[in-house]
């Protein structure tokens, strides 16, 4: 049988290793097995991660497409195009300083429209609708906050948060947000 040059080279290495020392050959073989196993393991992990992301991509992104604009709203033509292409939800984000009676910390604010989220489901703790949590009661609008903000500000649900001159009441914690 005719062997290819890489196979012939590998056999030559094996013969040399066997002649020199059987223990060194065992070490060589172990390294070879570990190397092949590591490459196969990394390939399998990468394939599993990619398959998971592909399966949940719309939920992870919160939609099929994300359009980000800085410092300007959609113009009429852009809005018509997007609305003709499917369901849309508008989200505004900005950085701000949040204050409680005892602490202050930078936070990311996110304002959403009633169609949010287009894909997936926002889960609040305690359970309830986003509209109810954000509604105006006793002169104050509500806010839903993530665990990190609660911890940084030492905030408990039902307490007030000040953003600029506005006072909001923390009514729920975000347990799961589809687009994060």
Longest dimension (CA), the chain: 89
Predicted pLDDT at 60? 63
Predicted pLDDT at 155? 92
Strand partners, 117: none
Predicted pLDDT at 143? 94
What percent of the chain is modeled with pLDDT above 70? 90
The DSSP annotation for 146-173 comes to -HHHHHHHT--TT-EEEETTEEEEEEEE
The span from the CA of 117 to the CA of 63, in Å, is: 8
Tens digits of per-residue pLDDT, 22-53? 777 778 788 989 999 999 999 899 988 888 77
26 or 168, which is more confident: 168
Cα–Cα separations (whole angstroms), residue 38 to 10, 32, 33, 35, 172: 20, 10, 9, 5, 45
Pairing of strands 91-99, 166-176: unpaired
Task: Please say if the pLDDT value at position 59 is more than 80.
Answer: no
Predicted pLDDT at 102? 86
Task: Please say if the pLDDT value at position 3 is more than 60.
Answer: no
Collapsing DSSP states into helix, strand and coil, what is residue 125?
Answer: strand
Predicted pLDDT at 150? 92
Mean pLDDT across 130-156: 92
The span from the CA of 103 to the CA of 162, in Å, is: 10
Please provide residue 47's backbone torsions phi and psi, each rounded to the nearest 5 degrees: -65, -40
Tens digits of per-residue pLDDT, 69-118? 888 888 899 889 988 988 888 888 889 999 998 899 999 999 888 888 88
Predicted pLDDT at 58? 65
The span from the CA of 43 to the CA of 121, in Å, is: 32
Using alpha carbons only, what angle is made at residue 78 by residues 75 and 82, rounded to the nearest 5 degrees? 135
Predicted pLDDT at 2? 54
């Amino acid at each position: 049988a005719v062997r290819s040059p890489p196979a012939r080279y590998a056999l030559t290495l094996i013969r040399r290793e066997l002649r020199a020392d059987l223990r060194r050959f065992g070490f060589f073989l172990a390294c070879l097995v570990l190397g092949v196993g590591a490459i196969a393991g990394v390939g399998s992990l990468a394939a599993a991660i990619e398959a998971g992301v592909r399966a949940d991509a719309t939920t992870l992104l919160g939609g099929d497409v994300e359009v980000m604009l800085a410092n300007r709203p959609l113009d009429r033509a852009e809005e018509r195009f997007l609305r003709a292409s499917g369901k849309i939800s508008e989200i505004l984000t900005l950085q701000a300083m949040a204050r409680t009676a005892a602490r202050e910390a930078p936070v990311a604010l996110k304002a959403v429209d009633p169609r949010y989220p287009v894909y997936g489901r926002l889960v609040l703790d305690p359970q309830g609708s986003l509209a109810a949590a954000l509604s105006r009661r006793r002169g104050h609008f509500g806010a839903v906050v993530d665990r990190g903000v609660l911890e940084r500000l030492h905030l408990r649900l039902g307490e007030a948060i000040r953003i600029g001159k506005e006072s909001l009441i923390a009514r729920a914690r975000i347990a799961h947000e589809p687009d994060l």
